[in-house]
Amino acid sequence: MALNASSAYFVTVTAHGAMLVMALSDMNEYVMATLPLTDWTESEYIDVETSLTIAISLGIACCAIEVILLAFQLHTFTKAIFSMCLHLLATIFLLKFIVDSHPVDHFWIAFGIFSVPALLIACLNLCMDFRLKEHC
């Protein structure tokens, strides 16, 4: 049962990462959605673009770390389902953000709500596995 949940978990993490890469490819619309319509400067544009790049890059890094951790461990069924739901919701929200050109703050909120807890679960699971195993 855990193997089936882990393979589905891998697919949702991959989908989440793919949506982040898609968002990275067209950042101008999200930056313009964040800035005021008329009175913005080039430095404001660069600041918002940098913030968006960091948010998306951190999300991609979290997905990559989770895939690497998945190679070393299998989640329990409950943890895999919970993490899978987090990544599924992140993918759905990112799709909405991409289609509707949401501001940069929404990407940071999605990162904090979906990517960080899923990565923490994977890291805690790895720590618990090491703690429970006997090491020589």
The tens digit of pLDDT for each residue in 92-111 reads 999 998 888 888 899 999 99
In the chain, where the domains are located: 2-31+42-131
* Residues in contact with 91: Cβ distance below 8 Å, sequence separation at least 6, in sequence order: 12, 15, 16, 19
Tell me, what's the pLDDT at 69? 87
Per the CB < 8 A criterion, the answer to whether 115 and 58 are in contact is yes
Tell me, what's the pLDDT at 1? 45
What average pLDDT does the chain have? Answer: 86
Residue 15 or residue 36, greater confidence: 15
- With 0.75 as the threshold, say if the pTM is over it: yes
